[in-house]
Structures are given as C-alpha cells and as structure tokens.
C-alpha cells in the first residue's frame, strides 16, 4: 500500500464521466464556464475518480459545470490558461500514487504544482494534495505505517489556527475523515501548522505568503462518502485499523465542522 489513501480496487470496465458538461476526452481542456478546478491523481479505472468529483462539488455547493478537472497522471503540465477563469483550485486524494515514493509521473505533477503555487490562485489541498504541495514547497513526506490513519479521527487546532480566517471558527478539537499512510513529516519553512492529531503532528497548514491551505484529512468527505470509498477494499481496514469492516462502519461519525472548512475557504477566496 503505497498511496496517500488506501488503494482502490481497479475496474477496467468502469468509465468516468465528470460532473460537468465536458466529456472525459476533454478533461485537460480549459472551460470558460468553470469556476473551480480539481487536480486529480487517479487512474482512469479508479472508481473513486468520479466519486471525488462529486464529493468536492457537493461540499462546495457547486452546480454542474462549475467544477472541471485536470489529470496529474498524464504527461501534460498545467498551463496558465487553465487558471485564467478559475476562482480557486482544490487538490484531492489518490488511489495508487505515493508522494513519498514518487515515480515516473512525479516530475510532471510536481512541475504543475509548482506553477500553481507560483500563481496567485488560491488552493485547498486535501490528503495526497496536502502531501504533494508540501513536498513541492520544500517539506518532507514519508511512508509510515505507524502513523497511518483511516476512518473518523479527532484533530486539535494549534494556537496559530485561532488567528486564521478559515480555521478560527472551528472548536479546539473536532472529528474528521482520514485515510492515508504517507505523512508530512516536516512542513515547508513557509508553512504555519494549523492542526494535529494523536498520531500525526502535521494535519493542516497554511503557507504564510500565499493563499495555499492543506489538510491531511478529507474535509470533502461525509461519513457516507468515506464508507463508500472504503467499501471496495475492507482488507485495508483490518490492516490499518485492526478491525473488521462492519465494526469500522459503526465507528465512523459525521464531521460537520470539517465539512465547513471548504465553505469558509470558498467564501474568503472565491470572490
């Protein structure tokens, strides 16, 4: 298991249709109607690729056509014209791609993320996205099963989060949805740590001189979406959580405070 999130079961017959007016063949073409861009690092046969689109769209309250996607697994580097009509960018999780391990896809993906970081476009990155943008900006990411988390966990805000316009309205501690075995071991020098959990110190960050946020957890996932994402591979619940899938489901909780993060980020940066 090498990815930020538990790997997905591959389904070669599955076809993905993004929740927009664009066809799958136009995933990397700009759309003047789009207001939010989702960067994805998921294989074409990954059944969670379309689910991730749906989760971000619902979490942000977007209408069909307001969210478009860009594929970081390909050979195409993100160009400025993809950001021209975008209010902000979100980066999601992964199925089979590890920031810590890298691979032949990493250099192109990293160049795209560096271009994004150097632009003025606001960014909210979750799970794999958090790890990837942290590494690109000088942080360190490691694969560490002793710090792997899956399911609903609790995170606690730092003192710095109390001064942050996106995080400050949250309670000191609140539940979130998580699923990863790579961790940001060291944040970029320009990052401010905003939250941590019992196992993972770096659960959230803000880059001080840029409108870039990142969370190790998934604010875009509801309880039902997390269970849907995990259902295809219950063996990993037993490996990481050490419990059967049915018991895992009973321990999952709603995470309304976490879900509100994307709404507050959008309210501040979407204008």
Angle between helices 223-231 and 48-60 (to 10 degrees): 180
218 is catalytic: yes
Tell me if residue 85 is catalytic.
Answer: no
Which residues, 6+ apart, have CB-to-CB distance to 204 below 8 Å? 130, 155, 161, 167, 193, 194, 195, 213, 214, 215, 216, 217
Cα-trace Rg, the chain: 17
Catalytically annotated residue among 5, 127, 149, 180: 127
Q: Which of 52, 149, 218, 252 is catalytic?
A: 218
**Choice among 5, 52, 149, 220 that is catalytic:** 220
List, in order, residues 6 or more apart from 88 with CB less than 8 Å away. 36, 37, 121, 122, 123, 124, 211, 265, 266, 269, 270
Question: Would you name the residues annotated as active-site residues?
Answer: 127, 218, 220
């Amino acid at each position: 298991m090498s990815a930020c999130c538990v790997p997905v079961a591959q389904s070669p017959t599955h076809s993905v249709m993004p929740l927009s007016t664009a066809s799958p063949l136009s995933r990397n073409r700009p759309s003047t109607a789009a207001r939010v861009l989702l960067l994805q690092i998921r294989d074409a046969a990954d059944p969670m690729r379309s689910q991730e689109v749906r989760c971000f769209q619902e979490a942000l309250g977007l209408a069909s056509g307001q969210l478009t996607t860009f594929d970081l697994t390909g050979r195409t580097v993100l160009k400025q014209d993809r950001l021209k009509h975008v209010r902000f960018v979100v980066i999601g999780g992964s199925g089979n791609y590890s920031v810590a391990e890298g691979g032949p896809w990493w250099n192109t993906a990293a160049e795209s993320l560096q271009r994004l970081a150097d632009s003025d476009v606001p960014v909210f990155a979750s799970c794999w996205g958090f790890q990837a943008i942290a590494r690109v900006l000088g942080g360190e990411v490691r694969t560490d099963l002793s710090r792997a988390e899956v399911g609903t966990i609790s995170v606690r805000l730092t003192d710095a989060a109390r001064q942050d316009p996106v995080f400050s309205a949250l309670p000191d501690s609140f539940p979130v949805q998580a699923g990863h075995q790579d961790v940001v071991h060291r944040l970029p020098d320009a990052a401010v740590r905003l939250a941590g959990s019992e196992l993972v110190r770096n659960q959230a960050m803000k880059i001080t001189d840029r409108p870039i946020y990142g969370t190790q957890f998934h604010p875009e996932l509801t309880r039902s979406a997390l269970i849907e994402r995990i259902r295809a591979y219950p063996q990993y619940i037993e490996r990481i959580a050490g419990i059967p899938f049915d018991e895992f489901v009973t321990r999952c909780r709603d995470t309304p405070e976490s879900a509100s993060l994307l709404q507050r980020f959008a309210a501040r940066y979407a204008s």
